[in-house]
Amino acid sequence: MEIVLKYFSDFTPAQLQQLEALKGLYEEWNGKINVISRKDIDSLYERHVLHSLSIAAIADFQPGTQILDLGTGGGFPGIPLAIFYPEVQFHLVDSIGKKIKVVQGVSEALGLKNVTSAHTRVEEIKNRKFDIVVSRAVAPLADLWRWSKPLLKKSAVPGKQFEKGLICLKGGDLAQEISESGVKPRLLELYEIFPEESFKEKYIVMVKS
């Protein structure tokens, strides 16, 4: 928890309570359904919570913004972002039902009113549009963009550095993946935002629509 407070300080008491509750909730759920590796549970706040909140460091989402978390797994980056932005609406989807069960359990325990979730494949989402799609190392950039593009609204949302499109968290050498994607993303190195060893060679990848 200290590592989150090292970089973010403007939390309400309710948000602090929610953030502090995350470790116990994920430990409890991980005992039933293994959604986070054992070693990562010990570094939950650095590897998962702070990693997710890197998006909040570069994008100032306005109240009422609609965000889709594509392939959310156990709720990352969606749940930490939903705590950070209580006035923003998040829809978390994953094709694996047991992972959505964890998302629903954690969201309910935290009292997050701005989170909905669904056990579905992203291609099956119909009659809904979003301002932003977020994702964390789920699939190659080409696939993420192909899935995201039809679900993005046409009108832009005011923001700090990002208006509308896809924001994904990725690691490693992305040159080939970007080349094959056919898009020209903006890359930000996480180590420049959070100078911690675990964030070396990790990036925020942004594709504007």
Annotation: binding site for S-adenosyl-L-methionine: 71, 76, 122-123, 136
Rounded distance, CA 66 to CA 124, Å?
Answer: 18
Positions at the binding site:
71, 76, 122-123, 136
107-128 b/e (C-beta count within 10 Å ≥ 16 → b): beebebebbebbeeebeebeee
How far apart CA 10 and CA 126 sit, in angstroms, is 37
d(CA 208, CA 187) in angstroms, rounded, equals: 12
Q: What is the 3-state secondary structure (H, E, C) of 106-131?
A: HHHHHCCCCEEEEECCHHHCCCCCEC
Phi and psi dihedrals of 86, rounded to 5?
-65, -15
Q: Is the peptide bond before 195 cis (omega within 30 degrees of 0)?
A: no
